[in-house]
Structure 1
């Protein structure tokens, strides 16, 4: 009888222990995950395990929402090129809060989920990071230098004045380091802005091969790109692209600020 009582007590403790373990298992949680950012390459897929939860557009900004179920405290999300198997990058999301956002940048090779817009240290200044990005077949393929000037235009005489402000050396596949310059103010008499030129790093040559037709750049001395809306207290992420058709390069540059997607 004594052995029977001990056996029953032991079984009771075992069952209670199992129940406690069952109670300790977390119930599934559902979160709303927003994936936003920019891709400088192929279409991407975000995966939870083997399940594709979102498709991210190629060579463009993107913003998409997925509802996903999380069974553990953390859930890993992988990112790959659409239809590929190699993982370009991964990040984790938790069970809370319900609404979560990941800001993703794909530079054509790797995926970052911690892309940040660097704030200025002085509210009177303006700041930026910059990158040269092109699929022009006659781009020489190496790093570039950016030379930044302040351009001032007398609106009465239309006389242009250029003051060199910054040399940004050896900018490769990643964005440059953070540059901080005084904020500019224009008036009815004087229009101020920041402009730049692009060269093969360490030279004053355009960053193209000999096969590129640069005859469309009529006045190379004034072949500037313009950084618009450089307001005091704000920071930008600039993508710079040359205009081209076939093997012919046009004047100036397309300048796109993608900082919005990483704020």
Structure 2
């Protein structure tokens, strides 16, 4: 009888152990897959999105991007890294949760740091326009420091060819990032008169062009006409304007390229 009892206790213990193991196995979350949308702007080296040593997708250099990475989740969450393709340096990481299936990260890389907090500021008055300015270039004769943005209103008479510049606002000492948000009333033009906002860029704290000695300025117009038009916005709209000078080798062009990258941060 004692032997039967001992056998029963032994079998009960084994069954309990197996049941506990089965419960533990069931507690392990199943493998899932997340579709991560990465979009934004990369102002520097090509970036690789990696999980361990696996490259999930590529974010091209000096361009806007919109790319999808499929991330396998084995735990509650996984971590993916953003690294420079050339140096293999990890410069930021992103946590990816198990749910929802479709996730999105808006990324701005200024060449030094990555932020996923970039936002497009809405105007407070729906009749106004708004924008931030960012001066960026790989022109070797750029002096490399902060700049001042001097915003003016240009009025041009299409019949008499008279023109005038009315100062609006100067945003001072802006480094390699976007300026503060500017909100202005939109301008209207007629057959007789054209009105638009323009911005000039200076070395911070001066009225000097932000370039090194030796730059070829032969194609640059008089200083008052070396500006970038701020256009393309309608009432109620906001922009993130990337401003870059045209150039060829050591010669500056006569104007600037203006690109609104706000779409990728909405």
* TM-score > 0.5 by shorter chain: yes
Q: 2:259 matched to 1:256?
A: yes
Asked if 1:18 is matched to 2:26, the reply is no
Partner of 2:140: 137
Distance 1:131 1:60 in 2: 14
Given candidates 24, 38, 43, the residue that maps to 2:41 is 38
Q: Distance in 2 between matches of 1:16 and 1:191?
A: 82
Q: Following the alignment from structure 2 to structure 1, what is the Cα–Cα distance between the partners of residues 162 and 184? A: 23
Q: Give how far 1:4 is off.
A: 4.4
1:164 counterpart residue number: 167
Match among 163, 181, 184 for residue 181 of structure 1: 184
- Which whole-Å CA distance do the structure 2 matches of 1:122 and 1:193 have between them? 19
Q: Distance in 2 between matches of 1:231 and 1:161?
A: 23
Residue by residue, what CA displacement relative to the aligned partner does 1:13-57 show, whole Å, maximum 9, x if unpaired?
332222222112111111222222221111110011221100111
Q: What CA distance in whole angstroms lies between the structure 2 residues aligned with 1:253 and 1:85?
A: 33
Query: 1:203 maps to which residue?
Result: 206
- In structure 2, relative to structure 1, the CA distance for the partners of 1:7 and 1:63 (3 Å cut) is same
2:247 to 244, 247, 253: 244
Shift of 1:85: 3.0
User: Distance in 2 between the 1:187 and 1:231 partners?
Assistant: 16
Shifted more, 146-155 versus 253-262: the winner is 146-155
1:124 aligns with 2:127: yes
Structure 1 runs of 4+ off > 6 angstroms? none
TM-score normalised to structure 2 length? 0.91
Aligned residues: 263
Residue 250 to residue 83, structure 1, CA distance change in 2 (3 Å)? closer
Deviating more after overlay: 161-170 vs 179-188 = 179-188
| Higher mean displacement: 45-54 or 146-155 | 146-155
- 2:83 aligns with one of 80, 84, 109: 80
> Which aligned pairs between 1:106-117 and structure 2 lie closer than 5 A?
106-117=109-120
RMSD after superposition:
1.9
Unaligned runs of 5+ in 1: none
Q: Check the 8 A contact 2:46/2:86 in 1, yes or no.
A: no
2:42 pairs with 1:53: no
* TM-score (structure 1 length as normaliser): 0.92
Task: Answer whether contact 1:236 1:259 (CA < 8 A) is retained.
Answer: yes
Asked whether the 8 Å contact 2:83–2:91 carries over to 1, the reply is yes
Q: Which sits farther off after the overlay, 253-262 or 188-197?
A: 188-197
User: By how many angstroms is 1:10 displaced?
Assistant: 3.5
Greater C-alpha Rg: 2
- Which segment drifts farther, 230-239 or 141-150? 230-239
